[in-house]
Amino acid sequence: MKTILRTLLLLAFIVWLGAEIFFPVVAGVTFSHISDTHAAGQVVGGLLRILHGMGLVCGVVLLALLALAPAWGVYKSRSVLAPMVFIVLMLALTSYSQFVIIPAMEHDRIAAGGAIDAVPVDNPYRVDFNRLHGRSTTVEGSILLLGIVTVVLIAGAETAAKQP
């Protein structure tokens, strides 16, 4: 049972963090190969929604597995608290991006006429869109950083579990 729980825990982390790491690569390739920035933005926006959906599912799975781990003797109770807090923060940031930032960016894009690059750089919708894009990038980077810290904390929990 311990092996199954650890395997599921690692797989959930691999999927979420792997996607977080891979997403900027996909976004960069998309914008370099599709000359129409509006179309490229639509592709990247769709992928970001999928990434967030995966993150939300993986985060809930991680929380459930970490909550069960002490009862199954995989980790000590105290050693899973910090990772769980970081996962909750990751889930909060993912939800913020998915349900606040992306809809606001979509609103600005539509209000600007559909293609954000087609309006002047001083257009208020474009200015707000660019501000939100910067915030989105910061949020995604923060999720990745929190995820790496959480992996370190879980590795520490693994070490603590092996000590008498």
Q: What is the pLDDT along the chain (164 residues), one digit of tens a residue?
A: 778 888 898 899 999 999 999 988 888 888 888 878 888 788 888 899 999 999 999 999 999 999 988 888 777 778 889 999 999 999 999 999 999 999 999 999 999 988 888 899 999 999 999 999 999 999 999 999 999 999 999 888 877 766 66
Residue 35's contacts (CB-CB under 8 Å, 6 or more residues apart) are none
**Which pTM value belongs to this model?**
0.88
C-alpha dihedral, 59 to 66 to 10 to 143, nearest 10°? 40
Give the DSSP H/E element, type plus range, for residue 120.
Answer: none
Residue 2's contacts (CB-CB under 8 Å, 6 or more residues apart) are 72, 73, 74
How does DSSP classify residue 163? -
d(CA 17, CA 13): 6
For 133, the token pair is 């894009």
d(CA 34, CA 44): 11
For 77, the token pair is 């109770």
